[in-house]
Amino acid sequence: MISSRMHSMELPRKVVVGGEILESVGEVCLELGIKGRILVVTGSKTYRVAGKAVLDSLADTGLEALHIKVEEASEKAVRKTEKILRDGRHSAAVGVGGGKVIDVTKLASARVGIPFISCPTAASHDGIASPQASLHDGESLSSVKAQSPLAIIADIEVILKAPYRLLASGCGDIIAKFTAVRDWWLAHQLRGEYYGDYAANLALMSARLVAGNAKLIREGSEEGVRTVVEALISCGVAMSIAGSSRPCSGSEHLFSHALERVAPGKSLHGERCGVGTIMMAHLHKLQWRRIKAVLKMIGAPTTSSELGVEGVDVVKALTIAHKIRPERYTILGERGLTRASALKLARKTEVI
């Protein structure tokens, strides 16, 4: 008998990856049937490196565009953007930036019910292609379902010029899929949660590709950057197929969020995820030494000091990680780690 359980997937319709492609944003919009006014959202820096080119491209194709800048990924910024989108009767929103701009534009456009186009200026995390958005409000961090980008336009030239640290952080977010998929499988086995082989394998393939190309990535070559960008896009698509962030976010992400709460603003999302993956891989009895070696080769942090935090911060984060998102079952279980076991884990994996 066919199961009556419905599973719906929302996928990007167009993905363009290449050099000097920002001038094609206008054409892509026309191809996708977007008419009327378009809102272009950037940060201050991303306006200079890419936003201006996007606005020029829209003007060249005769599309009317309005430009705003956002500086933080907060509920306030989302509401403000949402209001501008509604008041101006915009028909699409283009986010040009790294993390914050993409998150705000994605969520605001989803609430208004218009398409979102993602133009990443750095390859620092998988939000550039995922349906999820992360908001920071004071102490709290929340990940909410927004919408998949209708199109992703990733200019390799712009991403190549971004600081290498951002790319290395993106690699940490991708390597995280090794443990995220294990946690998803565990939740399926123990909790009967939906598990999709295709989405799981797509996320794993990205992690394997980045691990296998670590040296190339470290060299900062165009090919290396392309590998990371394509892997991040595949991770975003894996989430779209799964209908949740499950294939891409497990216990290592819980650790990352917990550490950000304990010692805010010291490190990047993907950097913390990478270190979390080393420790969670040990709990999952995966090859944590190999994961650590890959991160080292890429030049991503593998220790507390490289993350700019104290050993006690890591231990504290390990003990509270399971409370960050209690509905997300992982290897940390319902009770999490005791202080003693957290200390042992961090020492054993030489994170502290």
**What 3-state DSSP class applies to 20?**
coil
| Helix 177-191, helix 164-175: angle, nearest 10 | 30
Encoded one letter per residue, x for contact with Zn ion by CB under 5 A and - for no contact, window 56-75 reads: --------------------
Binding mask 198-237 for Zn ion (x = CB under 5 A): ----------------------------------------
CB atoms within 10 A of CB 27: 16
Q: Least distance in Å: CB of 264 to Zn ion? A: 17
- For Zn ion, the closer CB: 82 or 173: 173
Stretch that binds Zn ion, among 5-13, 165-173, 298-306, 312-320 (CB under 5 A): 165-173
How many whole angstroms separate alpha carbon 280 and alpha carbon 255?
Answer: 9
Binding positions for Zn ion, 248-277, rule CB under 5 A: none
In 3D, which of 165, 78, 92, 77 has the Cα closest to residue 125? 165
Q: How far is the CB of 52 from Zn ion (least distance, A)?
A: 29
Report the residue number, 155 or 173, with the smaller CB distance to Zn ion. 173
Q: Cα–Cα distances in Å, from 141 out to 25, 129, 254?
A: 32, 19, 11
Here the tokens at position 210 are 């980045």
What minimum distance in Å lies between the beta carbon of 231 and Zn ion? 12
How many angstroms separate the CA atoms of 230 and 239, rounded? 14
What is the contact mask toward Zn ion in residues 166 to 205, using x (rule: CB under 5 A)?
Answer: -------x--------------------------------
What lies within 8 Å, CB to CB, of 104 at 6+ separation is 41, 70, 73, 77, 78, 81, 95, 133
Q: Which is nearer to Zn ion, 47 or 255 (CB)?
A: 255
Task: Tell me: does residue 103 bind Zn ion (CB under 5 A).
Answer: no
Q: What three-state secondary structure class fits 262? A: helix
CB of 126 to Zn ion, least distance (A): 5
# binding residues, Zn ion (CB under 5 A): 1
Min separation Cβ 260 and Zn ion, Å:
12
What mask, x for binding Zn ion by CB under 5 A, covers residues 120 to 159?
Answer: ----------------------------------------
Q: What does DSSP assign to residue 225?
A: H
* Torsion of the alpha carbons at 163, 167, 168 and 169, rounded to the nearest 10: 100
Secondary structure of residue 93 in the 3-state scheme: strand
Q: Which is nearer to Zn ion, 63 or 268 (CB)?
A: 268
Mode of pairing for the β-strands spanning 38-42 and 65-69: parallel
Q: Considering the complex, what minimum distance in angstroms separates the CB of residue 253 from Zn ion? A: 6
The contact set with Zn ion (CB under 5 A) reads 173
